[in-house]
Structure 1
Amino acid sequence: MKEIRINTEYITLGKFLKYVNAVDSGAIAKIVISEGEVFVNQEIETRRGRKLRDNDTVSYDGVDYLIRIDNEN
């Protein structure tokens, strides 16, 4: 599982997929999310605006990610 650190309270699912370079664009993120190809906390997630917070997991295309909030602001 890849640990991904962010320095905000949350990140939306669509932005996250672009952030980790899992997709090339927001349009592709919208498609793969709406088609049920992305899992958040082991459940299919179809909302690209889903807020990901500390300790959430995302699975897409055979890769698992763990969200960690970096509170060093």
Structure 2
Amino acid sequence: ELREHAGCAVTLDDVIRSSAPNADVGLVTTEARAAAERLLERARSRGVAAVRWNDAEYPPLRGASVDPPPLLWVRGRI
């Protein structure tokens, strides 16, 4: 559903791996994971999607900058 609505589907594990590639995803606490899932769901319900640095949708000029953010929150098309 998210892929159809927003053009991509991002899971919480994707966000964690993108933001902290060396992190052990298993160490993320249940409470933190639940809070993050609520945040992602709230964003989805408002038409906001997370675009990772390695997604095709990530803006090329932004990715070529000195310190590009690993994740962009977007509404609509970029």
The alignment's TM-score, normalised by the length of structure 1, stands at: 0.35
Look at both structures and tell me which one has the larger radius of gyration over its CA atoms: 2
The alignment's TM-score, normalised by the length of structure 2, stands at: 0.34
Structure with more of its chain in helix, by fraction: 2
Larger RCO (CA under 8 A, 6+ residues apart): 1
